[in-house]
Amino acid sequence: MNGADTGITEADLVAYADERLDSARREAVEAWLADHPDDRQKVESWQNQTTMLRAALDPVAAEPVPAALTVALSPRAPRRLAWSGPALAASLALAVGLGAGWYLGNSGWPTAGVGNNRAEIIAVEGYRAHKLYTREVRHPVEVGASEEKHLVTWLSKRIEAPLSAPNLTEEGLKLLGGRLIPVDGQPAAQLMYETATGDRYTLFAARADGAPPTALHFEEWGSIGCFYWVEGNIGYALNGPNDRDRLMVIATKVYEQLL
């Protein structure tokens, strides 16, 4: 688009689709859209994407919080913990709101502004994939653990990097399988694990070309906790129930096995 003469920008279109403009600015954008069908079609596409995502995902945010997580969800500001040891000493902006079809208002999902580097983007995309697929009962994965060799070969080929399925049995986690995840039109991988009590953990891996290696960082969104990091040209995000200490132990084991 070229709205320089009217001051209409891509950000205005996103904000319009997001219903975040004041009345004067909204009228200006509407006048622009009336004369620019390509931009109008783009905005309508964003709105349709968001409507479908809300219909699919808002029920997740409305689910009651398990009693065991009440303490973890007590009011507090989001925390981020950077942790590193000798082995880790190396050291989605997000897709534009509705423009990428990911803005979900107050549904409890991360929105634009959560992070602006590749590691943080991967963390958020990993969280979204975790939230979406761990709810599935019959189809949580595309390829089951019974085909582990095929699974890791397939995912490695798609993300163009060697990938393995870390053995986490010592932590009580059994591999369920994995799937391919699209992120900004590029392939990413998700491996899913489950405990004997039904808690599910996911390891998300996506390309991070050009991003510097990082230590483990911790992020939390409600009942979900995440450790994420970049190693080589791949970014990883381990998501599971929001128990930072347990997640750190699991993330460390994953890191060591992926070296």
Asked whether the predicted pLDDT for residue 46 surpasses 80, the reply is no
Q: How confident is the model at residue 237 (pLDDT cuts 50, 70, 90)?
A: very high
The structure tokens listed for 220 are 């939390």
Asked whether the predicted pLDDT for residue 114 surpasses 70, the reply is no
C-alpha distances in Å from residue 18, one per residue of 12, 63, 92, 99: 10, 24, 16, 9
For the chain, domains (ranges, CATH) are 10-61 (no CATH), 75-258 (3.30.200.100)
pLDDT at residue 150 in the model:
95
The structure tokens listed for 136 are 């599935």
CB 115 within 8 A of CB 128: no
Count of positions (residues) in the chain: 259
**Mean pLDDT over residues 163-181, rounded?**
95
pLDDT at residue 95 in the model:
34
Range in 46-60, 101-115, 117-131 with the lowest mean pLDDT: 101-115
Say which residue, 217 or 64, is predicted with more confidence. 217
The C-alpha atoms of residue 16 and residue 1 are separated, in whole angstroms, by: 15
User: What percentage of the chain carries pLDDT values higher than 90?
Assistant: 41
DSSP state of 259: -
pLDDT at residue 66 in the model:
55
pLDDT digits (tens, 9 = 90+) for 21-37: 888 888 898 888 888 88
pLDDT at residue 86 in the model:
37
Say which residue, 137 or 115, is predicted with more confidence. 137
pLDDT at residue 138 in the model:
86
For 71-74, the CB contacts below 8 A with 24+ separation are 72/220, 72/223, 72/225, 72/242, 72/243, 73/222, 73/223, 73/242
Q: Measured at the alpha carbon of residue 25, what is the angle toward residues 22 and 29, in degrees to the nearest 5?
A: 130
Asked whether the predicted pLDDT for residue 137 surpasses 90, the reply is no
pLDDT digits (tens, 9 = 90+) for 52-105: 666 666 565 566 655 544 544 445 444 444 444 433 333 333 333 333 333 333
Range in 53-57, 153-157, 198-202, 233-237 with the lowest mean pLDDT: 53-57
Q: How confident is the model at residue 51 (pLDDT cuts 50, 70, 90)?
A: low
> What is the rounded average pLDDT for all residues in the chain?
78
pTM score, two decimals? 0.58
The C-alpha atoms of residue 219 and residue 109 are separated, in whole angstroms, by: 13
Mapped onto helix, strand or coil, the DSSP state of residue 132 is helix
